[in-house]
Amino acid sequence: MTADTGALDRMSFAVESAELGHGADPGMWRFAPDAPQGPMQVSAAALDRMSFAVESAESDHGADPGMWRFAPDAPQGPMQVSAAAASDAGGGDRFNEPQNRALGGSYLARMFRHYGSWPDAVVAYNWGPARIDRWISDGRLIDKLPTSVARYQTRVLAESGAFAGIATRLAQLRLLRLEAKRQLIERRNHGYCPDAVELLYAEIMRATSGPVE
């Protein structure tokens, strides 16, 4: 099963709007370093979970002997950090395992800040920013996203726990859709009246006003 990146992006956009009006709130930056920060209010714990999942996909947490490669500029180590990615992340010794993990996490955070969503950040980490930029500009066509990249994205998001809240929200929306359909059938059977429309609107507002868990 591949991830629906369009749906995930729409959810990310809605979450950012609810959190801070798309970065317009000056209170989005907080004094406590581990507190949620920035326009998407991402905590250090969330980045740690995502980095842990990326390392699992890249090298099985360092258990893959092929994580060290002969070509010096090739991706290296538990986070498979390339020379270019290490430079973009601020530089460091990617042949040192602790620094490799730190560089990988920094680069992943950089991708998130650039794209504004974890689904895109994960794809950019695996596929490269240039490729995902072309894919986005071409309209995010699912058949143009390589199967291996889609599987990587799904694995990382699933292992990080990112799908948990989305699944809950989608379940809520499915129930809401069924209720709306039921009421529309009743409206057809009993005739249109403004009260029915107002009731449906009120139920939609109640169903979508709660926080995503």
Distance CA 125, CA 14 (A): 23
Distance CA 143, CA 151 (A): 13
pTM: predicted TM-score of the whole model, two decimal places:
0.63
Same domain (yes/no): 124, 173? no
CATH code for the domain in which residue 127 is found: 1.10.530.10
Same domain (yes/no): 179, 102? no
Q: State the CB neighbour count (10 A cutoff) for residue 184.
A: 12
Same domain (yes/no): 144, 87? yes
Question: DSSP 3-state assignment of 65?
Answer: helix
- Please name the residue ranges forming H helices in 21-96: 44-59, 83-88
Same domain (yes/no): 15, 83? yes
Same domain (yes/no): 179, 198? yes
Distance CA 118, CA 124 (A): 10
Domain that includes residue 28, residue range: 5-160
Predicted confidence at residue 203, as pLDDT, reads 59
SS3 content of the chain, % helix, strand, coil (to 5): 65, 0, 30
| Residue at 213 is within a domain | no
Question: Do 85 and 107 meet the contact criterion of CB atoms below 8 Å apart?
Answer: yes
Is the alpha carbon torsion for 53, 54, 60, 61 positive or negative? negative
- Last residue within a domain, chosen from 140, 160, 180: 160
Predicted confidence at residue 32, as pLDDT, reads 47
Question: Do 105 and 79 meet the contact criterion of CB atoms below 8 Å apart?
Answer: yes
Count the domains in the chain.
2
| Residue at 142 is within a domain | yes
Same domain (yes/no): 175, 193? yes
Same domain (yes/no): 138, 192? no
Predicted confidence at residue 141, as pLDDT, reads 87
Same domain (yes/no): 27, 115? yes
Predicted confidence at residue 46, as pLDDT, reads 85
Going residue by residue through the chain (213 aa), what tens digit of pLDDT does each one get? 344 445 444 544 544 544 444 444 454 444 444 444 455 556 788 899 999 999 999 999 999 999 999 998 899 999 999 999 999 999 999 999 999 999 999 999 999 999 988 999 999 999 999 999 999 999 988 888 898 998 899 899 889 988 776 666 666 666 666 666 666 666 666 665 555 555 555 555 565 555 444
| Residue at 33 is within a domain | yes
Predicted confidence at residue 18, as pLDDT, reads 47
Question: Do 55 and 155 meet the contact criterion of CB atoms below 8 Å apart?
Answer: no
Same domain (yes/no): 92, 13? yes
Q: What tokens appear for 144 in the block?
A: 């143009």
Same domain (yes/no): 85, 176? no
Same domain (yes/no): 202, 143? no
